[in-house]
Amino acid sequence: MEEAIAFIVREPAKPAVEVRVNFGVFAGRNATQAEIDDLARALNDEVESFAVLAVERHEFSGDSETSLRQVVIEVTEAYAGPEPEQLAERIVQRAERWAAACIHDRADLGELEPEL
């Protein structure tokens, strides 16, 4: 089978846990690769396997254009454990600390103060 540049996903796999971090709203920039690596290290104690996506989303309509930069953390059902909601809350807490620290470290580019 030949590899394709673009392809249709008819039934996308849905994660059991999905946490979105509005990084760009507070930082005014995308998260760096080093910052994403730091987030992964912070999450390693919490969950065995997960995905981190750095998303730059553009939405268009007849009257407007919106750009949104987020970091999305996904955990499949196989690794979400018996209480995915509690896992999601713990991931949110770690992600908030991570984002605040990233923004604080580069305060000249952001407005959020960390609450560590």
Residues 4-49: tens digit of each pLDDT: 999 888 988 899 999 999 999 999 899 999 999 999 999 999 999 9
116 vs 101, residue with greater confidence: 101
Average pLDDT for 86-92: 98
Q: How far apart are CA 19 and CA 75, in angstroms?
A: 9
Residue partners of 20: CB distance under 8 A and separation at least 6: 70, 71, 72, 73
Q: How confident is the model at residue 107 (pLDDT cuts 50, 70, 90)?
A: low
Tell me, what amino acid is at 1? M
CATH code of the domain occupying 17-108: 3.30.70
Q: How confident is the model at residue 112 (pLDDT cuts 50, 70, 90)?
A: very low
**Which candidate, 26, 37, 40, places its Cα nearest to that of 113?**
26
The answer to whether residue 105 scores a pLDDT higher than 60 is yes
The whole-chain average pLDDT of the chain stands at 90
